[in-house]
Structure 1
Amino acid sequence: MIVRQTPNALKIFFTLRGSIIPKIYPQILLVTLLSTLITIVQHEFPLSFPSYSTAPFTLLGVALSLFLGFRNNASYQRWWEARGLWGQLVYDARSLTRQLLSFIDEDDETGRDTQRSMIHLTIAFTHAVRHRLRGTSPWEDVERFVEPIHHASMRQTQNLPDYLMRLMGKKLGDSRRQCLSSEQMIQNMDERLTSMTIVLAACERIHNTPLPFAYMLLVHRTTYLYCFMLPFGLVSSLGWATPLICAVIAYTFFGLDVLSEELEEPFGLAANQLPLTALSRTIEINLLEALGETDLPPDIAPKNGYLE
């Protein structure tokens, strides 16, 4: 995710970090070259292209704008829902830790071990959710928080976060049977586990259910057709200004198209996607600090205005 102050009026035209220009410059260049070629032909041979009315291009541009606007709204809604889910995960992890430290009987070693094990599993769950959504290897971040006895079975599971949640449920059940806390508090802590499971399921739903391909294909085709036909309709009235105007319009339409694709999948590593690594590290630091540990990992700092 991009983390920077709003650029001033001068820098805003030259800022590339987080911009979609690196992804769409081939399309912009192609439209500009096509517009330039058409303008040259029109200048050398004035009767090559008849004078078209701009009304069809205006109507098509309005329709395309509506399509792109709807798709960007849908993509942003997915992005914002994903951010809200990770905010809920931060809340649940902190709340569960507070309940474990406050209401699990720590007068004996069993209670203290239960507190530490549950909190470590909560940290492991957070890292496992991030890696599952990004399709990366979780073992370096997860295994250090899980008891070695579970490593072999953990590597065989199809859904690592769900496996860790089941371990946490068993730990909570053992606490109930050992009377380490009251029935009411065990139920409250189980509600936190349920809420974390809901976060996992909702994130998987967003990750596994993209916007309909047919709609994306329609927007792609219409954008290309509109930008490639536009110079023919403008050259007779705009003359040498046609390449510039077409380039600006291509930047707008292709940019909105690509930006919606980037926001559609909010869990990746692109510049405008969510900083899941930083959020996971925040949860890890908060929970280890609650356990009284002093050897804490550092916060994830932005690099060149980018927070991973």
Structure 2
Amino acid sequence: MIVRQTPNALKIFFTLRGSIIPKIYPQILLIALLSTLITIVQHWIPNSFPYYGTATFTLLGVALSLFLGFRNNASYQRWWEARMLWGQLVYDSRSLTRQVLSFIDEKDEPRQQVQQNIIYLNIAFAHAVRHRLRGTEPWQDIERFVDPIHHDRMRQAKNVPDYIMRLMGKQLGDIRRQGLVSEQVIQNMDERLTSMTIVLAACERILNTPLPFAYMLLVHRTTYLYCIMLPFGLVASLGWATPLICAVIAYTFFGLDALSEELEEPFGLAANQLPLTALSRTIEINLREALGETNIPPDITPIDGYLP
């Protein structure tokens, strides 16, 4: 994710990190070259492309803008919902940790171990959710927080975060049977686990339910057709300015199309996708600090304005 920047008026024209230009420059070059070729033909052979007027292209441009606007709104809604879900996960993790440390008496070592087990499983859950959403191997981040007796079964689990959540549920069951806290406190803790489970399920819904392919295909085709047809209709009135104007319009439409694709999948590693690594590291730092540990990892800081 690109962190908030305030570039000056000159720098903003040359900023590439976080820009969509690296993804769409082939399309822009294609339209610019096509427009240049059509302009040359029109210059050497006048009236090769008669003047059609701009009304038709204006109407097509408005219609395409509506399509792209709707798709961008839908993509941004998915991105923002994903960010809200991860904010909920941070809230639930801190709340569960506070309840565990506040209501489980830590006078003896076994109860301190119970506190650590639940909090460590909470950390492992956050890392496991990130790796599941990104399709990466989670073992290096989570096995150090899970008891080794569970490693084999955890590696065989098809849904690792859900397996860790079941381990947390069993820990609460053991706490209840041992009478370490009251029934009301157990219920409150279980509500936190339920909320974390909802976060996992909602993130999986976003991941596994993209925008309808037919709609995406319609927007792609319409964008290409419009930008390819545009120089034929403008060359008679704009002349040598046609390549520049068409390139700017292509940048606008192809850029909106590509940006909506990037926001549609909010859990990846692209520049404008969510910083899940930083968020899961924040949860780990907060929870280990609450346990009183001092050997905790540092915050993840942006590198060249990019936060992973």
Sort the TM-score into its range (normalised by shorter chain). over 0.9
Q: Determine the C-alpha separation between the residues in 2 that align with 1:24 and 1:5.
A: 22
SS at match of 2:294: coil
Structure 1 stretch 44-53 or stretch 20-29: which is displaced more?
Answer: 44-53
Q: Determine the C-alpha separation between the residues in 2 that align with 1:159 and 1:196.
A: 14
Identity %: 84
What's the TM-score, normalizing by structure 2? 0.99
Partner residue, 2:67: 67
Structure 1 position 105, deviation (Å): 2.4
Structure 1 position 48, deviation (Å): 0.9
Q: Determine the C-alpha separation between the residues in 1 that align with 2:76 and 2:41.
A: 42
Q: Determine the C-alpha separation between the residues in 1 that align with 2:292 and 2:262.
A: 40
AA at the equivalent of 1:75:
S
Partner residue, 1:76: 76
Query: Which structure 2 residues correspond to residues 119-198 of structure 1 after superposition, within 5 A?
Result: 119-198=119-198
Render the CA deviation track for 1:153-203: whole Å, top value 9, x for unaligned: 000000000000000000000000000101000000000000000000000
Superposed CA RMSD in Å reads 0.6
SS at match of 1:133: helix
Partner residue, 2:224: 224
Structure 1: gaps of 5 or more residues: none
Partner residue, 2:271: 271
Query: Which structure 2 residues correspond to residues 10-25 of structure 1 after superposition, within 5 A?
Result: 10-25=10-25
Structure 1 position 4, deviation (Å): 4.0
Render the CA deviation track for 1:54-110: whole Å, top value 9, x for unaligned: 111110000000000000000000000000000000000000000000001223332
AA at the equivalent of 1:166:
R
AA at the equivalent of 1:204:
E
Structure 1 position 233, deviation (Å): 0.5
Q: Determine the C-alpha separation between the residues in 1 that align with 2:202 and 2:73.
A: 19
AA at the equivalent of 1:181:
V
Structure 1 position 18, deviation (Å): 0.4
Partner residue, 1:38: 38
Query: Which structure 2 residues correspond to residues 273-288 of structure 1 after superposition, within 5 A?
Result: 273-288=273-288
Verify the 8 A CA contact 2:64 2:223 in the aligned structure 1: yes
Structure 1 position 50, deviation (Å): 1.3
What's the TM-score, normalizing by structure 1? 0.99
Render the CA deviation track for 1:128-157: whole Å, top value 9, x for unaligned: 000000000000000000000000000000
AA at the equivalent of 1:165:
M
Partner residue, 1:107: 107
Partner residue, 1:7: 7
Structure 1 position 47, deviation (Å): 1.9
Render the CA deviation track for 1:252-298: whole Å, top value 9, x for unaligned: 00000000000000000000000000000000000000000000101
Partner residue, 2:98: 98
Q: Determine the C-alpha separation between the residues in 2 that align with 1:108 and 1:208.
A: 46
Q: Determine the C-alpha separation between the residues in 2 that align with 1:72 and 1:251.
A: 15
Q: Determine the C-alpha separation between the residues in 2 that align with 1:304 and 1:275.
A: 14
Query: Which structure 2 residues correspond to residues 236-251 of structure 1 after superposition, within 5 A?
Result: 236-251=236-251
Q: Determine the C-alpha separation between the residues in 2 that align with 1:231 and 1:6.
A: 35
Q: Determine the C-alpha separation between the residues in 2 that align with 1:27 and 1:246.
A: 11
Q: Determine the C-alpha separation between the residues in 1 that align with 2:119 and 2:41.
A: 71
Structure 2: gaps of 5 or more residues: none
Partner residue, 2:116: 116
Q: Determine the C-alpha separation between the residues in 2 that align with 1:90 and 1:10.
A: 38
Q: Determine the C-alpha separation between the residues in 2 that align with 1:229 and 1:304.
A: 39
Structure 1 position 20, deviation (Å): 0.5
